[in-house]
Structure 1
Amino acid sequence: MSYEPSLEEYIHQLARDPKPSVRQNAAFILGRWRDLRVVPPLITAVQDEDPGVRMRAVEALGVWKHMPETVQAVIPALGDADEAVRSQAARSLGLMQDVDAVPALLEALNDTSVAVRAKTAEALGILAQPAAIMALLRALIEDDDSGVRYFAQESLVQIGGAAVRESVSDAIQQYYDEPGILIDLISVLAKLRDSRNIEVLRPLLAHPDEDVKAMAQWAITEHSH
C-alpha cells in the first residue's frame, strides 16, 4: 500500500521543498483539496521562483470563486515573465467569476502572447461584462491570430444584449469594404438570434463579395428558425 502525504505535508512541501518538481506537484495536489487551509500557501506560491510552481499555484487558486484574496493574488500573475503563468492567470480569473478582474483582463488582451490573448478573450466571455465589449470587438477585428478572433467572437455572443448588437452593427457599416472582417461580424449577429439583426443583415445580400452575401443569407436563415 503506497503512502499518501497528508494535507499538512503537502503544504510543507509547497513552502519548503528545494525541488521545483516537488513544489509543483504539491501545488497541483492542493488545488484538488477543498479546504481553506490550502489558500494561504497557494497565494504565497504565486511568487515562487520557479515558473512551473507559479503556474500550478495560479491554476489551483482558480477553483476558489468569489474570494477577493484569491482574485487579488492572481491578477498580478497576468504580468508574469512566463507566458504559461500569464495564460493560466487569465483562465483562472475567468473561472473565479469576479468582475474585479475585468480591468486587468482588458489590458491582457494586448499581451504579446497569442495564448494569453486567447485565454483572456475567453475569460472575458465567461465574466460577460458589457465593459469588455469594445475591447473584444477590437480583438475580433484587429488581432492577427484566428484563435484569438474566435474567442473574441464567442465572448461577444456570450455577453449578448443590445450593446453588443449595436456595436457590431456599427462595425459592419465601418468595415463594409473588408469582407474578411465582415464575415466575422456577421457570424456574431447570426449567433445572437435576435430578429432585429435582420434589418442589419438584409442590405448585405447585395454586397459585391459573394462570401459576404452567402454569410448574410445564412445568418438571416438562422434567425428564421
Structure 2
Amino acid sequence: MMRFLGLKSGSKWFVFLSVILFVFLVITVFSGCIDERKPELSPGEVDELIQELGSENRSIRINAENELSTYRDSASEAMLRTLNDGNESVKVRTNTAYILGRWDEKRAIKALVQNLDDESPVVRENAAIVLEVLGDETAVEALLETLEGDENESVRSSASLALGGIGDERALKPLIEILGNESEKLSVRTSAAEALGRLGDRRAVDLLILKLSEEDYRLRFASVRALGQLEDERAVVPLVGILDNNNENLSVRKEAVYSLGKLGDDKAFTSLMETLQAEDLGLRMASVSALEMLDKERAVDVLLPVLNNESQAVKVREASALALGRLGDKKAFESLFYLLQSENPELRLASIEALGDLRDRRAVDPLILIMRDKREVMVLRTTAAYSLSKIGGNEAVDALISALDSDEFEIRRAAISVLGVFGDERAEEPLLGLLEDENITIRLFAVDALGGTGGLRAVEELEQIAANESEDEYLRDAANDSVLRIRDRI
C-alpha cells in the first residue's frame, strides 16, 4: 500500500492539486487576518530573530525566517543594516541576504554590491547569488568587476551565473573571453558557458559548439545545455553527433537529448527515435520527452509501439502514455484504454491521466467506473475524477455531482474541487447543499468551489455565512472571497 501511496507525486496531479488548493485557500483566507492578530515586533525582537538566522539548528532558522516574513515591514530595515555589519557572523549575513532576495527587496542591492568587496569569500559569493535573484541591471558593472578581478574561483563562478541570469548584453564579451581562455579555472569556464545560455545571445553559439570537443565532460555538458537554451539551428548537427557517440559521457548525451527537444528541429528525429532503444533508462526517458516536442504526428507513430511493448521498461511506457495524452491524437485511444486493465498501477494511473488529456468521450464511462470502484487505489479514483473534468460533457458532470454523496472523504473532496473548475450551473444546487455539512473541510471546499461555479443564489447563501459571527472565521472569509469571485464573473 505504501508503494501505491508513493504514486501521489510527480505526474499524479489530482491529489497534489487538491492539497495545494486547500493550502492556498487557507493561506488566502488567513492572509487578511494576520495583522489583526499579532502586534508588530519590537526592534529587540527583530534583532533576536535575525540572530537566530545564524543558528546551527535548522528548525530555529526556519522559524525565525517565518516570523520575519510575517512582520516584513518592521523587519526589513534591521535586516538591511545587517548585510554590511562586519561584526555579524557570516551565516547571519548570508541567510539574511537570501531572505531579502526571496522577498525581492530591491533596497538590498546597494548593500549586496558593497558585499562583493567583503573580506569573506562566502559573503562575496552569496552577494552575487542574491543579486542574480534580484535581477537588477544596476548591479552589472560591479559583477563584471568581480568576474574579472576576484581571486576566488567560486565567487567568480557565481558572478558569471549572476550576469547570465540578469541578461545584460554587457556581459557577453567578458563571458565569451572567459569560456575561450584555456588557462582559466575549469569551474569558472563552466559557469561562463552556462551563463551564456542564460544570457540568450546567439552570438555565443559558434564558441559553444567549439567547446563540445573539450576534454572535460563538465564543460561539454554546460555547453550542450547552453546550446539548447539558445535554440539556434546551427547546434542541431553537433548535438546529434554528441547523442550518437556511444563513448560520450552519459550525462552529456542525456543533456543533448533535452537540448535537441528544445531546438525542435526534425533533423534530430531519427537519432532520438533510435535512442528509445538505448540501454540506459534515463536516455530512453529523455528521448520520449524530446520527441514530444518535435513532429507531433511522427512522434505519435513512434511512441505508440513503445507504449504497447510489454518488454519496455515501465517508466518509459508510463512517460510515453503521458506524452501521447498531451499530443492529443485520438489514434492513441485504444492503446491507452487497454492499459486501464494493466496489473501495474503506475501504467494504469498514466493511462487515466492521458485519457483525460486526450479528451475523447469514449473514456467517460470507464473513468466513471474507476472513480466509483471502492476496490481501486484512491489515487487512481481521484485522478479519474480530474480526467473526467477535462473531458467534460453531461455524463461526466452527472457522475461528479453524484460523487458528492459519497461516504468517502477523498472522493467528495475531489468531486467538489473538480466541479468548482467545471463552471457548470447544474453543480450549484448540490454544492450549496454541502454548506451545511458537518465536516468543516468539506464546507470550505464547497465555499471555494461555488466561487468558480455559483450564481446569484450562491451569493445570497455565501453572504449569509460571511455575516454570521457564530460561523468559523476562516469559513466566513472564504465566503467573502467567493462572493467577490462570483460578482467578477457574472
Q: Call closer, same or farther: CA 1:213–1:59 in 2, change over 3 Å.
A: closer
Map residues 150-161 of structure 1 onto 2, 5 A cutoff: 150-161=382-393
Which residue is 1:193 aligned to? Answer: 423
1:61 is paired with a residue whose SS is helix
Root mean square deviation of aligned Cα: 3.4
CA contact (8 A) 2:413 2:442 kept: no
Aligned ranges 1:52-91 → 2 under 5 Å: 52-64=282-294, 66-67=296-297, 69-78=298-307, 79=310, 81-91=312-322
TM-score, length of structure 2 as denominator length:
0.38
Amino acid across the alignment from 1:98: D
Q: Which runs of 5+ in 2 are unaligned?
A: 1-179, 181-207, 213-234, 456-485
Q: Which residue in 2 is equivalent to 1:10?
A: 239
Structure 1 residues 84-119: Cα deviation after superposition (integer angstroms, max 9, x where no partner): 3223212322332212122222333446243x4444
Residues 56-106 of structure 1: per-residue CA shift (max 9 Å, x gap): 111100113531x21121123334642332232123223322121222223
Distance in 2 between residues matched to 1:100 and 1:144, nearest whole Å: 28
CA distance in 2, matches of 1:99, 1:215: 38
CA distance in 1, matches of 2:401, 2:321: 29
What SS does the aligned partner of 2:296 have? coil
Within 2, Cα distance between the matches of 1:62 and 1:177?
40
Partners of 2:256 and 2:445 in 1: CA distance: 52
CA–CA distance in structure 2, aligned partners of residues 141 and 4 of structure 1? 57
Structure 1 residues 106, 59: CA separation in 2 closer, same or farther (over 3 Å shift)?
same
Distance 2:390 2:432 in 1: 24
CA contact (8 A) 1:46 1:73 kept: no
How many residues get paired?
A: 219
Range with greater deviation from structure 2 (34-43 or 192-201): 192-201
- Structure 1 residues 113 and 177, CA gap change in structure 2 (3 angstroms): closer
CA positional deviation for 1:205: 7.4
**Cα distance change of structure 1 residues 11 and 213 upon mapping to structure 2, 3 Å threshold:** closer
| Aligned 8 A contact 2:382 2:411 in 1 | no
User: What is aligned with 1:48?
Assistant: 278
Match of 1:196, SS state, is helix
**Range with greater deviation from structure 2 (116-125 or 130-139):** 116-125
Give the drift of 1:206. Answer: 8.4
Instruction: Identify the match of residue 33 of structure 1 among 244, 258, 263.
Output: 263
- Name the TM-score, length of structure 1 as normaliser: 0.74
Deviation at 1:179, TM superposition (A): 5.1
**2:327 counterpart residue number:** 96
Matched residues in 2 for 1:49 and 1:187: separation? Answer: 42
Aligned match of 1:164: 396
Q: Percent of aligned positions with the same letter in both sequences? A: 27
C-alpha contact (below 8 Å) 1:134/1:167 kept by paired residues: no
Q: In the aligned structure 2, how far is the partner of 1:156 from the partner of 1:183?
A: 15
Task: For residue 31 of structure 1, give the secondary structure of its aligned residue in structure 2.
Answer: helix
Letter in 2 for 1:49: E
Indicate if the aligned counterparts of 2:406 and 2:412 stay in contact, CA closer than 8 A: yes
Counterparts of 2:295 and 2:352, CA distance in 1: 19
Q: Secondary structure at the match of 1:49?
A: coil
Alpha-carbon deviations, 1:121-164, whole Å to 9, x = none?
Answer: 33333222212223333443444243x44443332222222231
Take 1:217 and 1:33, find their aligned partners in 2: how far apart are those partners?
44
Which one of 123, 132, 138 corresponds to residue 363 of structure 2?
A: 132
CA drift of 1:188 comes to 3.1
Gaps of 5+ in 1: none
Distance 2:288 2:236 in 1: 18
Provide closer, same or farther for how the CA distance between residues 190 and 17 of structure 1 changes in structure 2, counting only shifts above 3 A: same
**Distance in 2 separating the partners of 1:8 and 1:180:** 51
Counterpart of 1:24? 254
